[in-house]
A and B are shown apart, each in its own frame.
Chain A
Amino acid sequence: MVPDGRLPDDRGGGCLMRVDLLSDDVEGLDEALAAVDGFDEALVGGLLRPRPAQAGGLAGIADAVAGTPLASRVAEAADKTASGAGDEGHFVALAAARTALLGSAHDALIARVAEALDRPGVVDACDVSVPGDEHAANLLVAARSWLCDLARAGWQGIDHELVGGAAPVVSAMLPDPALRRPATLLDGFAAELAACCPGATLEQVPVRRWADLWARALLLTLPGAASAPATGEVTGRLLPLGADVQEHATAVQAQVHAVFEPADGGTPRLVRASVSAPKPDTVVGAGLWQLLRPHMSLLAAVSEERSMDLDAMPVTAEGDLLWDDARARAGEPADAFVTARVALPTAAPFDVSPLDRHPARIAVPVLVEGYGVTDGADGVVLEVAGGRLGVDAGRVPAAGPLTPEVVASSTACLGLLRWDGGQFLLQPLAVERTVRKRTVAVHAGAWAGGTTDKAGVRAEKAATDAVTVLRERAGKLLRK
């Protein structure tokens, strides 16, 4: 490791990523996505009595997987569904075909990123197969039945009664930790559908998005699909890169991306640590950090720009640390940009499980330097030698000091490379900018563990008051 942050070679601190490769065509991608679009458009009108155009979309997805082990099941499912006789098993087969196609799109995109970054590849394959058990089978059956009713109605056929059918399933699932994944997904999905009812008057449908959520939810109802157990324990030093926040009205998750250096001197690895919680929709902004903070000491380490020392921390086959505060203690100060310049280029990623191979799941930590910035109608764009890279500023949490303006005046950006809507985008985790001839870092997750920033303190106070009122009300009304 080079302590002062200089690069271990003479590449001069420029952009180490071949941005030009990111905008080149990826072979086969358009064809795979066209088959997905055809199926997704069939879901807009619903599968109760498919019209010829919808039948074409169904046949298209069957053709696209004709050379795979799914071929005969999907062909039968497409055929039966096109004639209006599709059952749950057929819908599951179609969702599986769609998931496989997006899996291949994911793999092609990841291969392109690896080429652009010239980083080590996956060192061990993720081949965990979890035996399905009968845990809460009736709830999963109820969820599947609701999802199949949705598919028959189509997005244009949704109404409050149909969408409301998810509520009892979600309420029954949420308290069970083993069902948190399907519960959280169904909850967010149903709330979004409810806000768009009746579907008949929708001017625009988020076609890919709702088909994604539907297919994923349907596959999660299969026994064992949502299980991602620990496959080992790791001991060594964890160097945080930054924090990513995800939320819908009634759930929040923070994920810290980091480089893990094993104590035994093995290959450094790219890992994540996550913490999530259900929430009332009025808990937002700094309230999200307050909800999560007590459950993962790593959030404080992100704010304090420290490493953490891990002792036998459980890890999944996908590189997710199953965080336990008892197995981590605060380490030395660690500058995320030093980590990005020195440790990140040698860190090997973990493999991705079959269900998680989807373009929306791509989040590759990268460092971009030596760029010019344009801030126009299509948002902030980094102009790098040989190409342009759009900045997805909408993913930066509101409760933090990093704003689009700060990104626009930056000289280095540490972020997550993502892919959506047909292009690669950079989600900033932190930037470096020059203030009075000094380099200053600004982190999206700076307030994760708490803050003394004036605006931050105000936001924290407001959030504390909101939760206090709700807890007081809950104390009075829930336990009567």
Chain B
Amino acid sequence: MGDGALSVWEKSSTARVVPAARPRKLAKVPFVELADGRLQGVVSSGSDIGRVYVSSVAAGSYAYACSTNNNRPCGGARGSFCNHIRALVGEAVLQYGAERVGRYLKVEAGDGEPDAHSLTSAMTSTRPGSDDTSAAAQVFSRFLRHLAYLELPATTDPLPEMQWFPTAGFPTTGAVAA
């Protein structure tokens, strides 16, 4: 830094930094994010429409956690990833792409193109422990904050600041975020 001329990307006001989320079906996993050093999200219960699970996998250690939003532990998450966590990884790969998910979680997926299956296998093969510092309440409140965006009204007052956020319509290069 500071030891030479800036590149065109560095001198761009509209440089693309974070790739846009890709469309996916939300019924099974309504919320996924790469945040706070974890892949975390909310997974719908297969049996009870009123229940959701809060699931997470930590980057690097792959320590996992899964519980209901009322803090009851998930019966499946003993000894290894439960189906909720597997679904979470699968949907994260759809939303962000396997490469970005793998990079964030620090997974060495071996040869070939990574996919949800290879990422999950690579993580479970290290026999990760469960994550006792579960941040279920925090993840759930982030999900509620996310849902609240639907309740905010639209406006026809112009937002000139959005000129700095052109749509990411077609694949662009130069994104740096993990």
Q: Do A and B come from the same complex?
A: yes
Residues in A lying within 8 Å of B, measured CB to CB: 33, 37, 41, 44-45, 53-54, 156, 160, 171, 174-175, 177, 180-181, 184-185, 188, 191-192, 194-196, 202-209, 212-213, 216, 220, 228, 245-251, 253, 255, 272-282, 284-285, 287-288, 291-292, 294-296, 316, 318, 320, 322-324, 355-356, 358-361, 363, 392-398, 400, 403-404, 420-422, 427, 459, 462-463, 465-467, 469-471, 473-474, 476-478
Partner of A474, one of B14, B16, B50, B151: B151
Asked whether, in the complex, the Cβ of A279 is within 8 Å of the Cβ of B170, the reply is no
Q: A204-B7, A393-B170 are in contact. List 9 more A-B contacts (CB 8 A).
A: A174-B152, A181-B159, A191-B18, A195-B34, A245-B166, A361-B163, A363-B163, A470-B30, A474-B151
Asked whether, in the complex, the Cβ of A322 is within 8 Å of the Cβ of B6, the reply is no
Asked whether, in the complex, the Cβ of A280 is within 8 Å of the Cβ of B1, the reply is no
Known contacts A246-B162, A470-B30, A470-B150: does B17 contact A37 (CB below 8 Å)? no
Asked whether, in the complex, the Cβ of B21 is within 8 Å of the Cβ of A281, the reply is yes
How distant is A390 from chain B, measured CB to nearest CB, in Å? 11
Q: How far is the CA of A287 from the CA of B15 in the complex (A)?
A: 24
Interface residue tally on B, bucketed by range: 35 or more
Question: Interface stretch among B81-89, B116-124, B140-148?
Answer: B140-148
Asked whether, in the complex, the Cβ of B167 is within 8 Å of the Cβ of A250, the reply is no
CB-defined contacts of A361 to chain B, threshold 8 Å: 160, 163
Asked whether, in the complex, the Cβ of B163 is within 8 Å of the Cβ of A177, the reply is no
Q: How far is the CA of A360 from the CA of B165 in the complex (A)?
A: 10
The 5 closest A-B pairs by CB, nearest first: A195-B177, A246-B162, A277-B154, A360-B13, A323-B156
User: How many A-B Cβ pairs are below 8 Å?
Assistant: 255
Partner of A208, one of B12, B18, B21: B12
Known contacts A208-B6, A397-B169: does B148 contact A359 (CB below 8 Å)? no
Asked whether, in the complex, the Cβ of A322 is within 8 Å of the Cβ of B156, the reply is yes
Known contacts A185-B161, A274-B158, A277-B155: does B147 contact A477 (CB below 8 Å)? yes
CB-defined contacts of A228 to chain B, threshold 8 Å: 157-158
Residues in B lying within 8 Å of A, measured CB to CB: 1-2, 6-18, 20-27, 30-31, 34-37, 50, 52, 69, 95, 143-170, 172, 176-178
Q: How far is the CA of A279 from the CA of B151 in the complex (A)?
A: 9
Q: How far is the CA of A188 from the CA of B172 in the complex (A)?
A: 18
Asked whether, in the complex, the Cβ of B177 is within 8 Å of the Cβ of A196, the reply is yes
Q: How far is the CA of A404 from the CA of B27 in the complex (A)?
A: 33
Asked whether, in the complex, the Cβ of A181 is within 8 Å of the Cβ of B161, the reply is yes
CB-defined contacts of A363 to chain B, threshold 8 Å: 163
CB-defined contacts of B25 to chain A, threshold 8 Å: 462, 465-466, 469
7 A-B contact pairs sorted by A residue (CB < 8 Å): A175-B152, A184-B159, A196-B176, A274-B156, A280-B149, A322-B157, A395-B167
Q: How far is the CA of A275 from the CA of B151 in the complex (A)?
A: 16
Q: How far is the CA of A28 from the CA of B58 in the complex (A)?
A: 51
Known contacts A295-B154, A356-B160, A363-B163: does B11 contact A204 (CB below 8 Å)? no
CB-defined contacts of B168 to chain A, threshold 8 Å: 247, 394, 398
CB-defined contacts of B158 to chain A, threshold 8 Å: 228, 253, 255, 272, 274, 276, 316, 318, 320
Closest to A359 in B: B13
Closest to B154 in A: A277
Among A249, A356, A422, residue most surrounded by chain B Cβ atoms (within 10 Å) = A249
How distant is B12 from chain A, measured CB to nearest CB, in Å? 4
CB-defined contacts of A400 to chain B, threshold 8 Å: 169
Asked whether, in the complex, the Cβ of A282 is within 8 Å of the Cβ of B6, the reply is no
